[in-house]
Structure 1
Amino acid sequence: MCENRRPGAAGRPPTVADVLALPVLAGGDPRVVTCAEHVDRPVRWVHVTELTDPASFLKGGELVLTTGMPLPDDPAGVRRYVDELAAVGAAALVIELVRRYHRPPDALVRACRARGLPLVTLAKDVNFLEVTQVVHTLILGHQADAMHRTQRVHEAFTALTLRGAGPEEVVRAASEMGGRTVVLEDLVHRALVCEPSGTTARAALADWERRSRTTPVTDRVDVSGPEGWLAAPVEYRGETWGRVVMLPGRAFGPEDVTVLERTAMALTIARLTRPTPWERTAHRNTLRDLVEQRHRSPADARARVAALGLPAEDVSFVAVLADLPPEEDTAGAETRLAEELTTTGARALVGLLSSTRVGVLLALGPSRPWREAVERLSRTALDAAPGAAVSVGSPAGDLAGVARSFREAGRVAEATEPGRPPPPGRSFHERSDIGLRRLLFALRDDLRVQDYAERQLGPLLDHDARHGTGLVATLRGYLDAAGNKTVAARSAGLSRETVYQRLRTIERLLGRDLESGEQRTELHVALQALDALRAGPPSGPDR
């Protein structure tokens, strides 16, 4: 007896095996004589016949029931009978071995095996009318369920479209509805969005470009390629922009086609209504995932980056941040920078990380000096957005170190005052540039730094405010002169006696000994912190 399966499992019509497992047929002791490998064929209808030419009444997908009474006696007639059933696409032939036959005729067995038609025998009497009623009820119920599921698919994608959902949300919905991995790619076979289902991004995207190029592009929803992908074109302004792909895990059914058709339609509409190119969105999302370490594994990160066209093996990575002036068109600068880097042949991901910050992940070959490459990238960024401040993290040997490189670049950016030029000879800032002044600038919002500056200099600041004196400036000049009172007096255009008098007043107000090197250092740090808090440091080299 055939394997007992749940009839009409959700998402597919009942198969030959499902029908044979029904009690109404199982009681006839069914046995699959030929082509048991085809009992997964769907059954569209049940047809009881005692005609010698039943195929003329069939449309395909029928389970044909017969007592065997009309079968021709000669082998040629039997072959013709089976040929016609197979040609019309009958799902299977079921013959009752009760009246005319007690074993299936050899000619019938040979003909069914030759044409790939499952032949099922029933050893006991079965009420064919009851079989048709039960199976037709099952089929009609499945069709009603399928209609309801299709309606839900249409409603879900309509809601996504009306809400203005982006490609990530649309692809995620398709994956959840179909229970399969869904990938959105552009015309050059870069995977921009991947929503895995029952697998990892690494498995789904491994060697993506090669696999995609071996899968022919179709102008409608269709299965193609060596892996049997179900793909649908996505258009933009009347031209094919890319395609959305559903990866196989089991045989595709009509509902999968419906889901992918609606996915492609929703993506086409979204492509028209969302101004940001999806390539930019893909770069942004990938960069943010790398910065925030949101990938499931390093292997998934490598697959995702490689699917976007960036090499992930045998390269080093450098994180670059371009902080733009508030009035700058950030999205425009992002696009210009990405286009310029593409023109120069640089291998990089470019994407907005915040409203005024563009992030770049630069991939470099093992023999290429990173500072030379970053200098070129930095000048390109400054051409795309004049007034930007470019900060760089130290190189990372693999993608696992990219988050650390971005953190370093972020710390450099935090320690860079607006308008501060890079050191001579380069156009970017790096970690080695951070001295005391820039460190305090980065920490200026820390209450401990604010408290320290106030405790050290508060009395002096209060005195200047009340009396209109310039004791803070005198202290600064004295400390900048490394405690040389003569140099301090000359720099300030004052007499030595005046400077001496002011220094004594400063010592009294602060309770400090300015002859102490340690105390002078503490006050110098406090002045640097004060400059950082006022965000208006004096010009000059960092200390």
Structure 2
Amino acid sequence: MSSSCGSRPPALRPAGSGTPAYGLSVEEVLELSTLAGARLVAGAGGLDRVVQRLNVMEVPDVLACVKPHELLLTTGYPLRHRPETLGRLVADLDACGLTALAVKPGRYLDRLPDEMLQQADRLDFPLIRLPEDAGFDDILNQVLTGVLNRQAAVLARGEEVHRALIQIVLCGGGLQEVTDEVATLLDAAVAVLDGDGRRLAASGDEALLARLQSALTDVPPAVEGEVPMPEVLPDVPPADVAPVWPTDAAPGEPAPDPAGPVTCDDDPGTGPISVPVVAGGFTYGRMAVAGVAAADVGILERVATVVALVITKQQAVSAVESKYRADFLRDVLTGRSGADEHVIAHSASFGWDLGRSATVVVAALDRGPARGPEERVLQDRLVAAWTSAVRRRDRNAAVAGFSGEVVAVVAADACDVPALAKDAAAVFADQDRTFSTGVSRVAQQPGDLPSAYDQAIRAVRVGRQMNGDGAVVHFDELGVFRLLSLVEDTAELHAFVRETLGELAGDQDPEAVDLRRTLQVLLETNLNVAETARRLHFHYNTLRYRIGKLERLLGPFTDDAHLRLNLTLALHVLRMRGI
């Protein structure tokens, strides 16, 4: 007899399916009065298996009729002429997810073969010997009644928990209030994690929370108060870093997959369990629970639905608040917000301090593969990354997402921009796209912020032209590039380069590129031949020969200061990318 049922379902199944909450364990079934004379003859290791339905074996080829979590009753009549197949039957039924097999020997089977008993013990498949006077109708009636009563009790319990949580939501409670109530009702430890495994809320006994630590070891640090969203909304105000448990995972490291229910222990009654938090087809994260009673496991999916409701509500509120903050900051940076006193007072209501000396930082996505609708998601991820990085150093900084960029107004004495950009890049963690960062001079008062904002924008644009994607540039580092960037007619700049450098303007001829490099170093060293020869690793006479060749191509630049200036400007233009 061959199996056509596939592999047996795991012993610990997703919440709400195959748990004792939705049936009776084999051990409980054996305690019923109709099985008073029954004996477990093999498979004692499977007493905790769950019975959710019953079936009677009437035909030899029963595999096509059985279902997982069934208790199968048989007299052995269909196999009376083939007792040698009983050993294989146990393995096939176990592969189909059957819970147990109850046999009433005597009339058609004199005894259960040793091979059958050995297979049952090996697979922890409960094999029950029924007394000769056992009635299948009595067993079916009593076991099914017990299963239905158990399921009714679970549904009533679930309804009770659901009503309690909905009442919290209707009264304005948030994730923390919901997790507090769940931890109390289920006497368990509960943590709600976002899609990256970061904590949003947690409640329960510390010892039980420690069990989650051992089960979920890759959880990265969290910014408390963040709300997971399909499109991360800008400027969600985070608080201190507060992981559920200590962790060494760095920002950007992969978190456990929240895509589906994951159980983390061998005991569904006590082991840590993870349930996805899903709404509208989008997975917002997951809910991890430790210490939940076996009878309450099936309730967790209902709880996860309420958690998703709270998250989507917070998402809607955050969307409105974030837009309001971003609009106000945009008015400040464009000089439309009014007097400094008004700006300072209004910004304080957002937790911002715009009355101090500050620096404006602008970060913008670099050009990359077109992603269509995903571009907005990338922009929102950039906002979230910069918000997290900035707030960890300056809780009173203003951070907002504008179209195509993120803007932060950071205290001048707290503005370590290279470190900020590095932290933001670690959180952003996108392999295909980078961002460039521009930094302004210090603005002493709110009225200076519009000018500082213009400086930061120019630093981003010109810095990217100077250094390529991923540049971090301060406005004061731009030098002459600031002036060159003001020339809007790029064709005129290209013409100037061709007229000034001649044959050295292109990149097609390797010799021309090499000579242009020699010219650049000569100008950087103020025509110091010895220093130029040292930097380029040339012999002194070789460099003198090259200088003569350059003057034949470009003119007597060693004697003409104006020509040297033109050549320097042309080389600067060539360095600017994207013109």
TM-score, normalised on structure 1?
0.46
Q: Which has the larger radius of gyration?
A: 1
Higher relative contact order (CA 8 A, sep 6+): 2
TM-score, normalised on structure 2?
0.44
